[in-house]
Amino acid sequence: MVPACSSSSGSTSPTDAGHASHDTGASGARDASDAHTSTDAHSAGEAQADADAAALGHANGSLGPWQTLTPLPLPRANHCSVAAAGYLVVIGGNYEPDGGSSFVDIDAVHVAALHADGSLGAWSQAGTTPSPVSGCTAAASGDTIYLVDGIYDDMTKQGQVFSATLSSAGVLGAWTSLGPLPNGQDAFYSSAWVASDTSATLYAMDSTLSLTAALRAPTAPSFGTWSEDDWLPGFLGRPEYAFTGSYVYAIGGYLSTDAGNPTVLTVEGAPIASSGMVSTPFTTTSLPTPVTYGTAAAVDDWVFVVGGKTSLFGPGITGTLSAQVGAAGHLGAWTSQTSLPEGRTDMAMTLAGDFLYVTGGGYMGPGVASVFAARVRF
C-alpha cells in the first residue's frame, strides 16, 4: 500500500497557539455558504493534469531550494492541509488579529491550483468547515476530503468525522457526517492518511496519556467501522508522523509532565499488516536532535522531517532532515537538507506531485500567511 494522500497538520504550542494544549501530559498546557469558483485561469482538466504530470520524479533524500509562493489570504497556524482534485487545500486554523489579544478560529477553506513546476494558482475560498476549527486533522483521496477531527467552536462537532467533495472548479461541496471516532477518542493536531489498498483505508493517529493508537476505517466501497490499533505504550506528545503505506513512524515528540516534558530523539516504526492493522512496533534510527511540533512526510522510500522546535517552549526552527527506508522498515542515517527560509512550528505540510508545500504556522508569534514549496522528487 502507498498513501493516496497524506496530511501532516500543524499542532498548537504553548508559545504561539491560540488554544492551550489539550495534551494534559504537558505542563501548563488546545457550510460552504461562502464558496465560489476559483479565480485561477486553469480549467478543471488543466489543474488535474498539472497535478498528475507533477508526479514524475522519484525522491533521493534531498530537497531543492524552498520557493516562497503567494501567501495565504489569511494568516493561520494550527490548521490542516491536503491535496485534492488538483488543488492545494488549506483548512481552518487560528490566528491573532492585529491589535487583538486572543486567537480567532477560522472556518475558511482556501484552495490554489497545483502547477507542475511547484507554483500555485491564485488563492480562493472554496467553502467553510462545519464550524470554525483549529488543531484539525485531514486527509484526501482523489476529490474527497476527510476532516477527521479538530477543536471546533461548536463543541457538538468535536470528535466527528466529515467528508466533502472538491469540484474540479475548486468549489467545496456540503460536508457529510460520517459519525464519531470510536470510543470517544479524538485526533487533534495529528496526521491522517488514505491508503491505496482495496478498502482505501483511512488512518488517523490519536495520542492519549497512556498510549498512541492508530484509528482506521475503510472508505470503499462505503465508509465502514473503525478499528483501533494500540501500537505505542506511554504518553508521546506531538510527534511527527509519517506513513509509507507499508510502515508508519512516530518521530520525536515530547514526554509527560512527570518526566519533565523533555523533547526526544527517538523514532518508532511499525509495519502495516495485510489486514491493514498497525503491527508490533520497533525502534529505529534516532534523530540527531530532538524535534516536536514539526511536520513529516514519507516520499517514495524516504522520510522527511521539516521544522518544529527542539524544546517544548522554544521557537520554530528552519531545519529539515531525511532518512531512507531500508530493510524491514528501519531507517538509515538522518541527514540535513535545505533549510526553510524561516523557522516554523504549528504549520501544515502536504506532498503534491514532486513538491512539499509548507503553509502558515508561526515562529513565536500569532500565525503567519507564508507558503513555501520545495522539490522533493527529481
Q: What is the pLDDT of residues 198-240, one digit of tens each?
A: 999 999 999 988 999 999 999 999 999 999 999 999 999 999 9
User: Model confidence at 11, in pLDDT bands (50, 70, 90)?
Assistant: very low
345 within 8 A of 293, measured Cβ to Cβ: yes
pLDDT-derived band of residue 363, with 50, 70 and 90 as boundaries? confident
Burial class of 289 by CB neighbour count within 10 A (0 to 12, 13 to 18, 19+): middle
Average pLDDT over residues 337-350: 97
Q: Has residue 26 got a pLDDT over 80? A: no
Look at residue 101 in the predicted model and tell me its pLDDT: 79
C-alpha cell at 171: 468549489
Residue 129 reports pLDDT greater than 60:
yes
Residue 168 belongs to what domain range?
A: 3-375
What confidence category does residue 32 fall into, taking pLDDT thresholds of 50, 70 and 90?
very low
pTM of the model: 0.88
Q: Which three cell numbers stand for residue 337?
A: 537538507
Whether the per-residue pLDDT at 349 is higher than 80: the answer is yes
164-176 average pLDDT score: 98
Query: Which of 32-41, 191-200, 266-275 has the lowest average pLDDT?
Result: 32-41
DSSP 353: T
Q: Angle 366-368-372 (CA atoms, 0-180°, nearest 5)?
A: 150
326: CATH: 2.120.10.80
Name the domain count of the chain. Answer: 1
With bands split at pLDDT 50, 70 and 90, how would you rate the model's confidence at 4?
Answer: low
Q: Report the percent of the chain where pLDDT is more than 90.
A: 79
- The pLDDT-based confidence of 9 (bands split at 50, 70, 90) is low
What is the distance between the alpha carbons of residues 22 and 149, in angstroms, rounded to a whole number? Answer: 13
Residue pLDDT, tens place only, 183-197: 889 999 999 999 999
Distance between CA 228 and CA 95 in Å, rounded? 33
Share the mean pLDDT of the chain: 88
